[in-house]
Amino acid sequence: MAPIPDEVVEQLSAHQMLRGFDRDSAGSGWHDNDLLFTGPTGLPLHPAGLPPIRLHGLRHGAATLALASGVDITVVQKMLRHTDLDTTSQIYTMVLPQLGREAVTRAIDLVPRNQH
């Protein structure tokens, strides 16, 4: 399992505490479920105008953002628990060309130039 940053753990802990206050305030009107994010009575949230996103879509988004921010693909492979690097690179081929261009640009920027 990928490590969870301390800041995220702190935010989730604070959220759980606030959710406890909501549960107490709602009393018998509380809808108990296994959801982490709910409305003030425990009912699921339905953000206006946003499509539902499956957990797999969030996983894919996190991996894409990690790669786009420069995280090495082997780290992303381990984060996703892919058994081999080939799987990761095949799935994220749409991100890799952009990363390749950025890597070349960074390498070119390292080459000293005569300033006339």
**Tell me, what's the pLDDT at 25?**
94
Residue 42 CB neighbour total at 10 angstroms: 16
By C-alpha distance, which of 51, 48, 88 is closest to 72? 88
Average pLDDT over residues 63-83: 90
Q: Which residues contact 26 (CB under 8 A, 6 or more apart)?
A: 40, 41, 42
- pLDDT: which is higher, 48 or 86: 86
Average pLDDT over residues 8-33: 93
Mean pLDDT of the chain: 85
Q: What is the pLDDT of residues 37-62, one digit of tens each?
A: 899 999 988 777 777 788 888 888 88
